Amino acid sequence: MRTFHNILVTGGAGFIGSNFIRYVFTKTSFAGRMVNFDKLTYAGNPHSLADIASAYGERYHFVRGDIAESTQVAAALRDHEVDAIIHFAAESHVDRSIHGPGDFIRTNILGTFTLLQAARELWGDRKDVLFHHVSTDEVYGSLGDTGKFLETTAYDPRSPYSASKASSDHLVQAWHHTYGLPITMSNCSNNYGPYHFPEKLIPLMINNLLTGKTLPVYGDGKNVRDWLYVEDHANAIWAIVTKGSIGETYNVGGENEWQNIQLLEVLIETVARLAGRNLADLRNLITYVKDRPGHDRRYAINCHKLKTELGWAPSVTFEQGIEKTVQWYLDNQAWVAQVTSGDYRKWVDANYARR
């Protein structure tokens, strides 16, 4: 099992990165330091790790920085004697990538290139180091009614988001094959859980149900996604980082496919039960809207390799995960109000000014 002293997590103030940092500190035997390197875009919230910052003191350190800025990246890697990079930072929302692809090209492609170069420069030929790249199943394109994505499935990205992630995946592989950089990669299906900015399907719908807003269903509502509880993505990444074979890609997924409209019914039923709302009133909020351009029909992951080679299995069922998630949003309406307020963004900029 590989061990590290100082891990730099990029994008650790975002949804999956913050859950990953909390998971490693609270549920693994990791004894070193974690440096959270994050630009704090709209999706990055320093408050999401306030509990970890106060509980783990010097072992958790936050740096506000941009992965596409080479001097900022090089300084963080050098100053903290980093021996592993776990790379989450990205622009991650498909609808935003359709509206404004430029940030996706800059952060996801140029940012990954910048990190890879900085890692090479710092580490040289060292083999006791690791660059883990967190990616998505969306790089494989769209499936018909049958079949699942394997690690060997040909890349066929279709949105500006998935094309930028596919490009970053290729760069990571190239730096391994060409320069010998020790890498691992994971391509995961859709995540859900706490601390998810309310713009993606599950947190948006929960938030709209709790606040009585309409529920916008794209197209016919029959697009299929394979959902995984975020902590199970975190423990998969930890398994790959500590035990995965160098140079290998592992697919991660919930084996848990839902049509959007069926998933919405589960959310409506769970919110009605946990928040004491009227089922019929909640169902009335469903509104079919214009489809997303280029909307991928179906994603589904085959994660046999991760299960058999690394012994990974999800820790919660979908029913448990959805219940925990809805309860978390019920208990944390203040977090949602905070991260969506303009005042909060001003506070972030004032309190986390770049040095």
Q: Considering CB under 6 A, how many residues would be counted as binding ligand NAD? A: 30
Helix (H) or strand (E) holding 340: none
First to last CA, the chain: 37
x/- map, 170-209, ligand TYD, by CB under 6 A = --------------------x---------xx--x-----
Q: Considering CB under 6 A, how many residues would be counted as binding ligand TYD? A: 12
Q: Give which of ligand NAD, ligand TYD, none residue 247 binds (C-beta under 5 to 8 Å, depending on kind).
A: none
- Distance of alpha carbon 262 from alpha carbon 64, whole angstroms: 40
Closest residue by Cα to residue 21 from 186, 233, 336? 233
Q: Which of residues 257-276 bind ligand TYD (CB under 6 A)?
A: 260
CB neighbour list of residue 45: distance below 8 Å, 6 or more residues apart: 13, 14, 18, 195, 197, 335, 338, 339, 348
Closest residue by Cα to residue 295 from 159, 199, 202, 97? 159
User: Is 211 exposed, middle or buried, given 0-12, 13-18 or 19+ CB atoms closer than 10 A?
Assistant: exposed
Active site residues: 137-138, 161
Answer for which of 67, 217, 230, 268 binds ligand TYD (CB under 6 A) is 217
Q: Which of residues 275-304 bind ligand TYD (CB under 6 A)?
A: 292
Answer for which of 4, 7, 9, 14 binds ligand NAD (CB under 6 A) is 14
x/- map, 120-159, ligand NAD, by CB under 6 A = --------------x-x-----------------------
Q: State the minimum distance, in angstroms, from the CB of residue 86 to ligand TYD.
A: 21
Contact, 72 vs 66, CB < 8 A?
yes
- Distance of alpha carbon 207 from alpha carbon 74, whole angstroms: 39
Long-range contacts of 71-79 (CB under 8 A, 24+ apart): 72/354, 73/37, 73/114, 73/115, 73/118, 74/118, 74/121, 74/122, 76/8, 76/35, 76/37, 77/8, 77/118, 77/119, 77/122, 78/122
Residue 33 is encoded by which pair of tokens? 């330091």
Q: State the minimum distance, in angstroms, from the CB of residue 87 to ligand TYD.
A: 18
Q: Is 225 in the site for ligand TYD (CB under 6 A)?
A: yes
Answer for which of 8, 13, 40, 94 binds ligand TYD (CB under 6 A) is 94
DSSP SS3 for 315: coil
x/- map, 70-99, ligand NAD, by CB under 6 A = ------------------xxxxx-------
Q: State the minimum distance, in angstroms, from the CB of residue 292 to ligand TYD.
A: 6
**Which residues of this protein are in contact with ligand TYD, per CB under 6 A?**
94, 190, 200-201, 204, 216-218, 223, 225, 260, 292
Residues that bind ligand NAD (CB under 6 A): 10-11, 13-17, 38-41, 43-44, 66-68, 88-92, 107, 111, 134, 136, 165, 188, 190-191, 197
